[in-house]
Each structure stands twice: as C-alpha cells, then as structure tokens.
Amino acid sequence: MPIFVLKRVLMSIPTFVIVAVIIFALVRALPGDPALMMLGGNIDDEATLEQMRSQLGLDQPMPVQFIVWLREVFSGNLGTSIMTGQEVGSLLWQRFGVTATVVLLAMGSALLVSIPAGLLAAHRHNSRTDYAIVFLTILKLSMPSFWVGLMLLVLFGAILGWLPTVGFVSISDDLGRGMLYLILPVTSLALSEIAVLTRMMRAGSLEIMGRDYITHARAKGLPERKVLWRHVFPNAFAPTLTMVGVMLAGLLAGAAVTETVFTLPGLGKLLVDSIYARDYPVLQGALLFIAAVYVLTNLLVDIAYSFFDPRVRLS
C-alpha cells in the first residue's frame, strides 16, 4: 500500500506540471490587460501603465513569468489578487468550503438514491419497476443541469415560494437557514449524478447476478436481501466507485454554472468573476487548485477501489 501510494504521488507531479503549463498559456491568451483594468480601463499615460505592468510582473518574457509563478506555487504562495489585494490561497480556501459542501451533499444524496435504485432495477430485471427506473434515468440525462436548476428556481422559489432563490447562509452560522439555501443547488447537481450512477449500478449488478457464486448463495437458501447486499453490492459497486471519483472532480470543476445560477459564493463563482476581471493570480490559482483536487480525488478512489474489488493488487 505505501509503495502504491508513493508511485501514484510521483506520477501526479509531471501531470501537475503539464497542467500548470496549459493553465498559464490559456490564461495569458485571454484578451484584455490586467494592468489597464486596475487603472480604471481607460488611461492615456503610457508611463503609468508600464509602471503598473512592471509592478505586476507582466513586463517579463512569458517563460520568465511562468518559472517565477511555478516557483512561488511550489513554495505555497499562489500570489495576491489583482482586484481585491487578498492572498489567493486564503481566498481559494474560503470559497472552496462552500463548493465542497454543495458537491459532497449532492454526491452523498446521489449515492443514497442510486445504489438502492440500481440494485432494485437489476433485481427486478425486465419488470415494470426496471422499465420505470430506466425511463426516469434516461429522461433526466436528456435534461441539462443548468436548465433543471432554473426550473427548480422557478417552481419552488418563484411560484410556490417554499425555498429561497438567491443568496447564501453558511451552515456554520445558521444550520437551519443554511440548509434551506442549499436544497435547490444540491438537488440540481444530485439529480444528474443519480441518473448516471443508477444506470452504472444497474449494469454492474446485472453482470454480477449472472455469476456462479450468486447462484450458489441462493441455492444455500440465503435471503435475497443478504444476497444483494452481501454479495452483489460490494462487487457491483467497484466500477461505480471509479465513476464517483471522476464525477466528484467533475462536479467541482463544473460548479461554476450551478453557483452562478444560485448565486453561491463558491470556487466556481470566484473563477467566473476572475475571468471577467482578468485577475491572473486568482484565475491561475483556482484552476490549479481544481486540478490538484482532481488528482487527489482519483488517488483516493484508486486506494478505496481495492477494498471493494479483491482482484485489485496494490504494489
């Protein structure tokens, strides 16, 4: 196990560097001048503009800017926001708490629904229950998440008035009100994941149910509930677990749309705001932070995979 973890960590370093190069190049390719925006967007004094560019390090050649930035990143310094003057690291960590709360609640809710639904559909294969579950998953997969979020806002916020439509209250400040503000965005994200995970769980369960040891377990007289949860679920969940890791990272990276729709002060909203403001340090730091979380999530999933699939050998 330690050797496996060490190998994966070492493999993630070149991946991290390559991602850093791509992020730096893409951010620098954005139109606009951060120095000009800091000076109000309209200035005729070229000397003042050049002084601001020099202060921000934008007068250096691109390779020099990249090396300086990467050196600071590995030393733990992501820089300072051009627009607010805050440290990028603390700003990202503060916003990440909101995004992580929404993403983890959405994924937890999706797993609680999709695992039993997938097992039930497989257990009652080719029945009305199976057809209904498959139909609902296909129906949801055909709907974009942002559209579902908007429909939830209109129905439960504007028409029925049951839930708040905009704003955010931290659950650490007020648990009750905080959960009210999270219901709609969490539901919007969870519905898409439920559809995908249910179909994967159903497919995996159907494959496992055809194995000889399942037939043997039933022949021994084990109750069907025990057959499903003790023998089918651990083996069928292994490929689903891999998808959970990918989806967690995808939810984190794609949170910008949901947070913009529901006006949540999370990492995705910060990313969108930094693009409009041409805030290079925040934009680069946010993208790099998301990439690091993606690599870490997949590392943890690979480790957890071995507990569900005995065929996996970590070496």
In angstroms, the CA 304 to CA 241 distance is 8
In the predicted structure, residue 196 carries a pLDDT above the cut 80: yes
3-state secondary structure of 87: strand
Phi (first) and psi of residue 148, to 5 degrees: -60, -40
- Total of domains in the chain: 2
69 and 108 belong to one structural domain: no
Residue type, 10: L
Query: Which residues lie across from 80 on neighbouring strands?
Result: 87
pLDDT in tens, 17-31: 888 888 888 777 766
Question: What's the whole-model pTM score?
Answer: 0.75
The answer to whether residue 100 is domain-embedded is yes
299 and 213 belong to one structural domain: yes
Return the pLDDT at 41.
60
Return the pLDDT at 314.
45
Return the pLDDT at 56.
66
pLDDT in tens, 42-77: 666 667 767 777 766 777 777 887 888 788 787 877
10 and 42 belong to one structural domain: yes
Residue 275 lies in domain: 96-309
Closest Cα partner for 146 from 188, 199, 103?
Answer: 188
Closest Cα partner for 27 from 307, 223, 282, 220?
Answer: 282
The answer to whether residue 81 is domain-embedded is no
In angstroms, the CA 262 to CA 161 distance is 15
Q: Are 169 and 182 in contact (CB under 8 A)?
A: no
